[in-house]
Structure 1
Amino acid sequence: MIHQIRSTDGTGTLSYLLVDEQSRHALIIDPNKEDLDAIVKLVKEQRATLRYIIETHTHVDHVSAAHELKNLFGAQLLMHENTKNKWKIVSEGERFGIAETLRANAAMEVDRYVNDGETLSIGGITCTFLYTPGHTDNHISVLYEDNVFTGDLLLIGQAGRSDLPGGNVEDHYDSLTKKILSLPESTKIWPGHDYEGNTFSYLRDEKRTNPFLQQPTKEAYAKFVSEFFPPLAESIAGGKMTIQCGVQRVISNSREPFKSITPDELETLMKTTPNLVLLEVREPFELMAFGKIPGVVNIPTEQLLSRMNELPQDTSTPIVCICQSGSRSYEVAHYLATRAGYRTVYNLDEGTFGWVQSGKKVERGSVKI
């Protein structure tokens, strides 16, 4: 069972609690100190025994909760072998104003160092560690069945920076092309950050849409990265700065043949429009794991063309397209309005995530993923 913990501290940090259903033993990946209360609550709700903490790398944008979780649960901290050189990047972080965060993370005692190809098993869960440097020189990704937790190496629609202390753009390119792209296309990508409300993405979709995975050479990749990310400003007089490891995407819907609506607007439509269709385009297991707005009809994006007959034949029927963040539903709304002929199409901006953030209820369940 995978449980995703989304930070509310503005860093876009995502942590993951993996719980073995039989033994109730658990591990957590990239816990954020700001989310400590939520993590502890989740562990207790799951009646889990937290055995291991995995940090994919030494973070620059938030302080890890590993120290507190070690003390609370007696869990062991695992990181890559190169973490032994962690104090070197602390001094490098001074000029960017991030030494304080690096110092706090470097002070944590690592119980086990891991290398590429090593595994960790708890109950029925077996994880394989992939050494994926580039964002930092101690970065690992964690492979579990058809899931890969990519930390700050690969994000949804983009990738992490490689110009921070310990980063290297050529290593980053090699990690993406030789490690991540060698995985099956059905692999689910679970990133360490997301700034759009996404939960995960399939590798096949990232290969198709993520420009970081489409650069043909290291030289082309380095040029693309240098133009994609804003330059890092150096700290003035030792000041403290907050670093964002990716960038927030800005999309304008002004020319689209459908309307983007807020959660409040959707709530009003649900009360005033009897024939309104709520089309939820996520996978069924996402609805079970992360919740769904009551009354939705579920047709996953990839099944839309083969299941169009399940939608109303009357093209004047109003349809609201919904996903976790508003990204997948945006594409579906565009298709329904431009290709399928529906005249009243809406996209729920910020998706179910925005719905929940605005205080509205979802139906929840549990599912093995």
Structure 2
Amino acid sequence: MHVINITEDAEAFTSNVYLVIGERTVLVDAGAMDGVVEAVREHTDHLDAVVLTHQHGDHVAKLDAVLDAFDCECYAYGEHDLRTHHLDDGETVEIGDESFEAIYTPGHAADHISLVSNSTIFSGDVVVHNDAAFDYGSFGRTDMPGQSRERLIESIKEILERLPEGVEHMYSGHGDEFHGDVRDVIETALSRAEQRKSKYPE
């Protein structure tokens, strides 16, 4: 399974968009970068599906363009006019060469899911390796309407409860990918979230 962050060099604000090449070629989120379709086509002419972690604008602004270009399936927890498959908590979806379990992880977004296999997690924005607030264990912001720090904390705990021991690859919605002790990164993020401090103090 080969994972490529096709928005790594984006100049405009966007989420990370991961092209996963394998037996089933999948895009995790669609991002907000102009040229996403062209970036995908640099690596493949075919997509089997787009899987959404959640539907904030920086993750889905280019969804229409991607689906129009590749005529593929769309998996999401939350309702969307272009969704072809509702991905509920505990259901599995094939991404690349592995089977991923969808874990419902709200707090940052009401429709947020994380995707976990025996080796890899696509964590969206609920927990990230690094960002402008923290290195080695950060978490999604919860200071906007409809967000909840308490619910996000419970979501991070749920990930830890259901995370297989062999997970060594973490691909988050923002920041850098991480390879190593993923559980320790997530536990660090949980500890920081539980301090209840503002993520971005004024």
Q: 1:187 aligns with which of 164, 168, 176?
A: 168
1:226, distance to aligned residue in structure 2 (A): 3.7
- Please tell me the residue identity of whatever aligns with 2:185: E
Partner of 1:40: 37
1:147, distance to aligned residue in structure 2 (A): 0.6
Unmatched runs of 5 consecutive residues or more in structure 2: 130-136
- Please tell me the residue identity of whatever aligns with 2:201: P
RMSD: 2.6
Tell me if the contact between 1:7 and 1:14 (Cα under 8 Å) persists in the aligned partners: no
Q: 1:227 aligns with which of 191, 198, 202?
A: 198
Secondary structure of 1:77's partner?
strand
Q: Find out whether 1:173 has 2:158 as its counterpart.
A: no
1:166, distance to aligned residue in structure 2 (A): 3.1
Tell me if the contact between 1:185 and 1:204 (Cα under 8 Å) persists in the aligned partners: no
1:122, distance to aligned residue in structure 2 (A): 6.0
Tell me if the contact between 1:148 and 1:190 (Cα under 8 Å) persists in the aligned partners: yes
Number of matched pairs? 191
User: How is 1:223-302 mapped onto 2 (pairs within 5 angstroms)?
Assistant: 224-230=195-201
C-alpha distance 65-71 of structure 1, shift in aligned 2 (>3 A)? same
Q: 1:203 aligns with which of 155, 178, 182?
A: 182
Q: CA-to-partner distance for each residue in 1:87-136, whole Å, 9 max, x for gaps?
A: xxxxxxxxxxxxxxxxxxx6x52221111111123674322211111111
Normalization by structure 1: what TM-score? 0.46
Q: Find out whether 1:160 has 2:154 as its counterpart.
A: no
- Determine which structure has more spread, i.e. the larger CA radius of gyration: 1
Q: Find out whether 1:146 has 2:119 as its counterpart.
A: yes
Partner of 1:97: none
Tell me if the contact between 2:125 and 2:140 (Cα under 8 Å) persists in the aligned partners: yes
Q: 1:117 aligns with which of 90, 95, 109?
A: 90
Identity %: 26
1:31, distance to aligned residue in structure 2 (A): 1.6
C-alpha distance 9-165 of structure 1, shift in aligned 2 (>3 A)? farther
Secondary structure of 2:76's partner?
strand
Partner of 2:64: 67
Q: CA-to-partner distance for each residue in 1:141-172, whole Å, 9 max, x for gaps?
A: 11233110000000113101123343222211
Distance 2:152 2:72 in 1: 30
Unmatched runs of 5 consecutive residues or more in structure 1: 85-105, 232-369
Q: CA-to-partner distance for each residue in 1:306-365, whole Å, 9 max, x for gaps?
A: xxxxxxxxxxxxxxxxxxxxxxxxxxxxxxxxxxxxxxxxxxxxxxxxxxxxxxxxxxxx
Partner of 2:11: 9
1:18, distance to aligned residue in structure 2 (A): 0.9
Secondary structure of 1:190's partner?
strand
